[in-house]
Amino acid sequence: MKKLPTLTLSLLLALAAPTFVHAMDMTGSDEASTMAPTMTRAEVRKVDKSAQKITLKHEAIENLGMDGMTMVFHVKDAALLDKVKAGDQVRFTADKIKGAYTVLTIEPVKK
């Protein structure tokens, strides 16, 4: 019975190791998005104020390494959604915050 504590500790370490490696991976992927957000052109497809979300058909986002596409973003501040509406041409910046693609700034582009 003397050996039991040692065995238990080994098991705990073995279980903890993969978790630790996973945490390191998460840190690594967050670092990839620490590049200063770049101004990107987009067309607003949908504004959802209650959910604090916006659907944008955006061009390539340099700081996120993302190609052009249509997708839903979270919005950092709900007040940003008062400045734009569906159909608007806009310029915006976005970053990955807590795993969610989030619009930091957005402004309409005058036609």
Task: Name the site residues for Cu ion (rule: CB under 5 A).
Answer: 66, 69, 71
| CB of 31 vs Cu ion, minimal distance in Å | 20
| CB of 40 vs Cu ion, minimal distance in Å | 10
User: Which residue, 66 or 104, has its beta carbon nearer to Cu ion?
Assistant: 66
Residue ranges of alpha helices (H) inside 1-111 are 4-31
User: Which residue, 32 or 69, has its beta carbon nearer to Cu ion?
Assistant: 69
| CB of 2 vs Cu ion, minimal distance in Å | 58
Q: Which residues pair with 73 in a beta bridge?
A: 54
**Cα–Cα distance measured from residue 100 to residue 37, given in angstroms and rounded to the nearest whole number:** 14
Cβ proximity of 90 and 75 under 8 Å: no
